[in-house]
Amino acid sequence: MKLGKNERKTTFLLITIPILALFICFNTIPLIRGVIYSFTNFKGFGKYDWVGFRNYIDLFSDLRVGKSYWFTFKLAIVTTVVVNVLSLLLALALNSSIKAKSFFRGAYFLPNILGALVVGYIFNYFFTYILPAVADMIGIDALRTSILSNPSAAWIGIMVVCAWQAIAMNTIIYISGLQTVPEDVYEAGGLDGATGWKQFKYLTFPLIIPFFSINMVLCVKNFLMVFDQIMALTKGGPAQSTESISYLIYNNGMSGGQFGFQSANAVVFFIVIVAVSVAQMKFSGKKEEQL
């Protein structure tokens, strides 16, 4: 028996140690190296010196970095709201008694499986040629030129593309939430006069709050890290109005000679992501407790 116990312990260690080593090697070590680079003036090649906290101090006075945070958060918040409202509506429709239910569910999930980069390219064409042509036809002056070339509207184009794909995912999650609501809840509610909007507000929504939390966390995290859509639609332009944080780190860090400075940016970004995620989980944890 004792031999058996030791055998089990040894096996578990032999499984855990190499896999943990792999994880440390390609996740923890690069993370630490990133933090170390953030205290240097490394350009990505050649010699470098320690600069202490200078990168961090510069970061907070750098207009371009500030702009990218503003853009990324604006995009993440607006897209999250748009996506969740629309997916909830779609999920309610898809969960009601309709014909060809499985066809609709399958079709509505389609955008999610397509690569974001290629979807971005397709929409790029749509915004550049199709939308202006439509605007021309029906006479909307504001849309006669591509919104992607307008510094104050380009972010809306990116929002649309992000939403187009994310709605598919969130809808499917809301549907699985709606399916957990038992039919007799509605029947009992109906007797008390809860129908339509009232039914949704007092019965349905409170019961699917856990799914709402999942969607919020997924959305915010994904949109804060937005990259492919930027690459395909605007490459950060026009006039650097759509540079997301990830895009700025990639662009200036990998090829712009700001390896050290953008490492500091990445460290701050990491802290921001952790803070936002933890805050969201605390908040949604509290909400669920109240029920």
Partner 1 sequence: MTIKKTNKAAMIVLILGLSTIILPLYMTLVIAFKQPSEMTNSISGILSLPKAWSLNNFREAMEVTDFWRSLRNSLLITVSTVALSIAVHSLMGYALGRNKSHSKFYSFVYLFIVSGMFVPFAILMMPLAKQTAELGLANWFGVILLYVVFYMPMNVLLYSGYLVNIPMALEEAAKVDGASTWRTYWKIIFPIMKPMHATVAVLTALAVWNDVMTPLVIMAGSGQNTLPLAQLNFQSQFGTNYNLAFASYLLSLIPILIFYIVCQKQILNGVVNGAVK
Q: Which of residues 16-55 bind partner 1 (CB under 8 A)?
A: 16, 19-20, 22-23, 25-27, 29-31, 33-34, 37, 44
Is residue 211 part of the contact set for partner 1 (CB under 8 A)? yes
Cis peptide preceding 238, ω within 30 of 0: yes
Is residue 92 part of the contact set for partner 1 (CB under 8 A)? yes
- Please state the separation of Cα 148 from the chain's center in Å: 21
CB of 168 vs partner 1, minimal distance in Å = 8
CB count in 10 Å sphere of residue 96: 9
Which of the stretches 60-68, 88-96, 145-153, 194-202 binds partner 1 when contact is defined by CB under 8 A? 88-96
Is residue 283 part of the contact set for partner 1 (CB under 8 A)? no
Q: Which of 57, 239, 274, 279 touches partner 1 by CB under 8 A? A: 274
Question: For residues 177 and 203, which CB has a smaller minimum distance to partner 1 in the complex?
Answer: 177
DSSP string, 136-189: HHHT-GGGSS-GGG-TTTHHHHHHHHHHHHHHHHHHHHHHHHHTTS-HHHHHHH
User: What distance in Å separates the CA atoms of residue 13 and residue 15, rounded to the nearest whole number?
Assistant: 5
Query: Which residues are CB-contacts of 163 (< 8 A; sequence separation ≥ 6)?
Result: 79, 82, 83, 86
163 neighbors 222 (Cβ within 8 angstroms): no
CB of 98 vs partner 1, minimal distance in Å = 5
Question: For residues 39 and 250, which CB has a smaller minimum distance to partner 1 in the complex?
Answer: 250
Is residue 188 part of the contact set for partner 1 (CB under 8 A)? no
Residue 231, both tokens: 């690459």
Is residue 158 part of the contact set for partner 1 (CB under 8 A)? no
Is residue 228 part of the contact set for partner 1 (CB under 8 A)? yes
Residues 96 to 135 in contact with partner 1, rule: CB under 8 A: 96-99, 104-119, 121-123, 125-126, 129-130, 133-134
Residue 263, both tokens: 């490492």
